[in-house]
A and B are shown apart, each in its own frame.
Chain A
Amino acid sequence: MSLDDKHITAKKSKAWDIELCDLRLGYGDTVVLEHVTDTFPGGKITAILGGSGCGKSTLLRHILGLRTPMSGQIYLDGRDIFTMPKKEFRRMRRRMGVLFQDGALLGALTLGENVGLPLTENTRLSKSVIRDVVRYKLSLVGLEEFADYYPNELSGGMRKRAGLARALVMDPPLLLCDEPTSGLDPINAAQMDQLLLSLKQEFPDMTIVTVSHDLASVKTIADHVLMLHNKTVIFAGSGEELYASEDPYVRRFLSRKAVPGKITGIELSSEVRAELDRWISQ
């Protein structure tokens, strides 16, 4: 069966699934990830796990078509995003909700204007309708009172929640979140998980991809897990399979164990240490 046949059969469900085929991603000549092959099932929550700097945000950037891979294909709803007509891809992307790692709210606009931006720019809805939608979406993330604040007047966690409100404003069939819970206190983080779960219940066709370091949240929400390590996929499968995995890195990751041995292999020479001490103790 050729790849294309497979994609046609896969298209039956209304939910968008994402297929990554032997992707090789990087910047310039530096390869960040290679041999990435996996399917993020439609209508389910997929969690991307991995250490800091392993390329999780890079992978999201490519799924969004903001960068082209060095090689390999990405199929969205069964269609290759890099060969389909640009216009059609833009129409698809318009319907994706994206939460960037640090919110990416426009600094020149208030929170309310930010959240309503996709509506004011792309629709002809009246101001009052937009205002109501914005208030509703902000209330989902607990920020309805901050609609008139500018992003730099908010904390990092609040910016992140506002970014999620903006991502949700078009009721997206595909929601991509880059670390939705980092920078949030445990209560807000748990609420964020609740929100994602309730979204899945409310919109059974919504595909959610979330990047996370937060094992507790992965355990509660993820139907499918992709784990990246050493420039490639180290695990792909369901949450239960993840916890049953025997891979030493996965085990260390799950049990939050440091790499055994010294913290660093580098030693300060005694002269440097003496010199440093002399200045510090002054």
Chain B
Amino acid sequence: MQPAKEPARFPANLGVPAIRFIDEAGSMLLFLLSALRRIVSPHQFSKIVAQIYVIGAQSFFLIALIGIFTGMVLGLQGYYTLVQFGSEGMLGAAVALSLIRELGPVLSALMIAGRAGSAMTAEIGVMRITDQIDALEVMDINPISYLVSPRIVASIIAFPMLTAVFDVIGILGGYLTGVVMLGINSGVYFYRIENATTMTDVSGGFAKSVAFAILVTLACCYKGYMAHTRTDGAGPVAVGNATTSAVVLSCVFVLMADYVLTSVLL
């Protein structure tokens, strides 16, 4: 039986996870740096294109679906809030700004983390437990350069594009509820969008999505790459746990970075 934890052990019990946390943060940073350093190496182009297809093109319909419903909900909620102040004409601005500044980058990143990110972790994790990564290393093919760098570049390209798709479709969703269903003048809707949205909003949104791209890919690739070092399971169980923790970590990263970036950009 485990001895009961004495109060005197409390600092030690706090210390171990803290050290482990810092240790892992450090090794993630090194992992990222080594992936970034190898972006420009021979034979990367075709791998990047293949990954853009997986991360970007294959996520398109999911993003479109989430985008339209998010926009429709925003339209509904926004209308009933604004109508109380008699300013339902501002709906377009409200929908567009919330999408472009916040919801577009954040929700796209979360959805891609769930879809493409989890697949990355599982794929790399399986490669780890079946010796494929060792085999790469033995052939003197750097596994980080082979597996991680192309995914990071592909994400940096795909995330902003998917975010743009999300924004546009979301604005159309707001149009559906606000204009088509609730009867706001269509000209007013678009005029307000054009009037309220500045280039800073748009570029800020894209800056966020680039940051999220790096964080999500880092979390997902790292967790898969390290699947064999997990203490909460081995083999397929470790890959499953790695996938779960990669998605959770991606979400935490995205929301924390969102706060930091918003406070910097505002």
In contact, B134 and A100 (Cβ under 8 angstroms): yes
Tell yes or no: B24 within 8 A of A by CB. Answer: no
Contact of A107 among B43, B127, B134, B140 (CB under 8 A): B127
In contact, A122 and B131 (Cβ under 8 angstroms): no
A26 to chain B, nearest CB (A): 16
Residues of A contacting B131 with CB < 8 Å? 100-102, 104
A123 to chain B, nearest CB (A): 10
Tell yes or no: B16 within 8 A of A by CB. Answer: no
Task: Tell me the chain B residues, 127-154 only, with Cβ under 8 Å from chain A.
Answer: 127, 130-132, 134-141, 146
Total residues of chain B contacting the partner, CB 8 A = 16
In contact, B132 and A107 (Cβ under 8 angstroms): yes
B113 to chain A, nearest CB (A): 21
Task: Tell me the chain A residues, 197-237 only, with Cβ under 8 Å from chain B.
Answer: none
Interface residues on A, range: 20 to 34
Tell yes or no: B169 within 8 A of A by CB. Answer: no
Q: Which residue of B lies closest to A170 (CB)?
A: B139
Tell yes or no: A90 within 8 A of B by CB. Answer: yes
In contact, A121 and B146 (Cβ under 8 angstroms): yes
16 contacts between A and B (CB under 8 A): A66-B138, A90-B140, A91-B140, A93-B137, A98-B135, A98-B138, A104-B130, A106-B127, A106-B135, A107-B126, A107-B127, A107-B130, A107-B132, A118-B140, A121-B139, A122-B140
Q: Which residues of A contact B (CB under 8 A)?
A: 61, 64, 66, 90-91, 93-94, 96, 98, 100-102, 104-108, 117-118, 120-122
Beyond A104-B134, A107-B130, 17 extra complex contacts between A and B, CB < 8 Å: A64-B138, A66-B137, A90-B140, A93-B138, A100-B131, A102-B130, A104-B131, A104-B132, A105-B132, A105-B135, A107-B126, A107-B127, A107-B132, A118-B139, A121-B43, A121-B146, A122-B141
What are the 3 closest A-B residue pairs judged by CB atoms, nearest first?
A94-B140, A104-B131, A104-B135
